[in-house]
Structure 1
Amino acid sequence: MSHKEAARLGDLVRAAALRLESAGIDGAAREARLLLAHVTGFSTARLGAELGEAATPRVVNQFEAAVARRCAREPMSHIIGKRLFFNHEFSVGPDVLDPRPETETLVLAALERPWRRVLDLGTGSGAILLSLLAERGQATGIGTDLSPSALGVAHGNAARLGLAERCEFIESDWFRGVTGSFDLIVSNPPYIAEAEMAVLAPELSFEPRMALSDGGDGLSAYRAICGDAQPHLTPGGWLMLEIGWAQGQDVSAAMEQAGLEDVRILRDLDGRDRVVEGRLPE
């Protein structure tokens, strides 16, 4: 191909896949296609039929910038600005924790219980709260977060999903700004111990640190939530918390010490401890 001949979309994908693979990205070919689909505006399905087409200068430049960002280990969701979670696309970015597939374990567990009023502590993008409300047409809820920027992201997601009238977002340090009681309280709090942060995937350096770690042993959020949950639960109401794989026993003990019953640990699809739930006696 001469230097004057325009590159084909397929050429861009193949070259990008090699760069991403060299940068240590798993699934490099798939990610290269996702980035090109984002830049061109094509669906991933249509992109396959367009790979023989010439790339415009705009596409070449924007694709090069996107690939460079991914090679620097910026999360894919930050580059394309969205993440699929529990049947919905959520806007995400550096102000919020990127919703993980394993967190769907918490959503599925919550949907097995009867509730009409839900509180999501540390809501971030709003992915948990909004996924729950989308499945329960008459339910309402509140999401809290310490970060005003995160709350802005959650507000936007609620509006896009048509759920803004059934939820409220407030700036709060756990329960501090919350009034009233709820049939269900959920949270995916920061649970990574400070000592573990240095060995985590490089992508996590792009996410808000306070959403990942408590700066201590990874359990302080659970102690705070469990300790103050009872006045905010209706009789028979459930508390459900996502956990790190080795925290099940500690969080279960915190729930039992707080007076909750029927405490149990739920596993995710990989067989790891993922959620601890407990119920306030009626």
Structure 2
Amino acid sequence: MPLDRLLSRAAVRLRAAGSPSPRLDAEVLLCHALGCDRTWLYTWGDREATTLVRARYEALVAARAEGHPVAYLTGEREFWGLALETHSSTLIPRPESETLVDVALALAPVAVGRLLDLGTGTGAIALAFASERPGWSVVGIDHQTEAVALARRNAERLAIGNAAFLVSDWFTALVGERFDVIVANPPYVAADDPHLVNGDVRFEPVSALVAGSDGLDDLRHIVAAACDHLVPGGWLALEHGHAQGAAVREQLSVAGYVEVASCHDLAGHERVSLGRVPGLR
């Protein structure tokens, strides 16, 4: 069977299964099965699929039809132009989190400094920032040893040498450490959120998604604790749900942060809220 026909059949199956992007999913999975990029696929789509490729591809399509995330099936997701290894022990990097990278870069206009990424997962945010600010020292922490190992592998394969990753339950391994900028994309989904039973999140670790009855437990903890780990004048920037901006701004203000504000993602939702510790750096 020609690759083009195999691809078309897979896209139809994934559309029927409810994939929001059936053609793209079908292409990415076929490229993974072939070990090629999409340009090769567009050029040589009339070639016959081998029996081995067809069997491998049909298994991938079947798993995707059941809802398994493409990023877990291929073991890779692009973020900020970086090809990151993914694993089911961590969240899948999402485009809206690039807003947090944009904010962090805006808060770091100088050539040198220290940034901390809390709950780093794949290392996506830490590595994106580090790639843009090579003079900065970046630390990413996660309480999952699997996540820290994954982030370290991503740093190595991308040859990003100014980012280090540590196992830590939030700030517990960082006693006495201070940073110019702290960023976090913590769990912020409410325990009863109906979206938890839909889409990719069904297969992602609940501990990386859910934070109490209102989704704000971890955000509250970070806001309260980060003051002791920021230099005077340092910034805290937090990703949160699209309806949580007002609550996070209130937490920041009550905790004594100044210049509190929120930034919107490309969809127009409040996605990142930030505040500065009083004082001069």
- TM interval, shorter chain, is over 0.9
Q: Trace 1:182-193 onto structure 2 (pairs within 5 A).
A: 182-193=179-190
Give the structure 2 partner of residue 22 of structure 1.
16
**Is residue 237 of structure 1 aligned with residue 231 of structure 2?**
no
- Structure 1 198/84 Cα, relative in aligned 2: closer, same or farther at 3 Å? closer
Describe the SS at the equivalent of 2:192.
helix
Runs of 5+ consecutive residues of structure 1 not aligned to the other structure: 1-6
**Is residue 258 of structure 1 aligned with residue 252 of structure 2?**
no
| Shift in Å, 1:8 | 1.3
| Shift in Å, 1:215 | 3.8
Describe the SS at the equivalent of 1:106.
helix
Q: Distance in 2 between the 1:183 and 1:95 partners?
A: 29
Give the structure 2 partner of residue 59 of structure 1.
53
Q: Please, which of 219, 223, 229 is the counterpart of residue 222 of structure 1?
A: 219
Q: Which amino acid aligns with 1:212?
A: L
Contact (CA 8 Å) 2:196, 2:202: kept in 1 or not?
no
**TM-score normalized by structure 2?**
0.95
Q: Distance in 2 between the 1:194 and 1:97 partners?
A: 17
**Is residue 79 of structure 1 aligned with residue 76 of structure 2?**
no
Give the structure 1 partner of residue 91 of structure 2.
97
Q: Distance in 1 between the 2:91 and 2:100 partners?
A: 16
| Shift in Å, 1:35 | 1.1
Runs of 4+ aligned structure 1 residues displaced above 3 Å come to: 197-200
Task: Give CA-to-partner distance per residue, 1:56-88, whole Å, 9 cap, x none.
Answer: 111011001110111011111111111111121
Give the structure 1 partner of residue 34 of structure 2.
40
Give the structure 1 partner of residue 169 of structure 2.
173
Question: Which deviates more, 170-179 or 60-69?
Answer: 170-179
Q: Which amino acid aligns with 1:100?
A: R
Describe the SS at the equivalent of 1:170.
strand
| Shift in Å, 1:198 | 5.4
| Shift in Å, 1:33 | 1.5
Q: Distance in 2 between the 1:110 and 1:104 partners?
A: 10
Q: Which amino acid aligns with 2:36?
A: F
Q: Please, which of 265, 269, 272 is the counterpart of residue 272 of structure 1?
A: 269
Q: Which amino acid aligns with 2:254?
A: Q
Give the structure 2 partner of residue 147 of structure 1.
144
Give the structure 1 partner of residue 243 of structure 2.
246
Task: Give CA-to-partner distance per residue, 1:137-196, whole Å, 9 cap, x none.
Answer: 111121111111111111111111112x42222211111111310000000000000010
Q: Please, which of 113, 124, 131 is the counterpart of residue 121 of structure 2?
A: 124
**TM-score normalized by structure 1?**
0.94
| Shift in Å, 1:118 | 0.5
| Shift in Å, 1:199 | 5.1
Identity %: 40
Task: Give CA-to-partner distance per residue, 1:173-232, whole Å, 9 cap, x none.
Answer: 111111310000000000000010555523111111111112432000111001111110
Question: Which deviates more, 252-261 or 185-194?
Answer: 252-261
| Shift in Å, 1:238 | 0.4
> CA RMSD for the aligned pairs?
1.2
Q: Which amino acid aligns with 1:169?
A: F
Q: Distance in 1 between the 2:148 and 2:132 partners?
A: 21
| Shift in Å, 1:48 | 1.4
Q: Distance in 2 between the 1:215 and 1:60 partners?
A: 44
Give the structure 1 partner of residue 203 of structure 2.
206
Describe the SS at the equivalent of 1:195.
coil
Q: Distance in 2 between the 1:162 and 1:275 partners?
A: 28
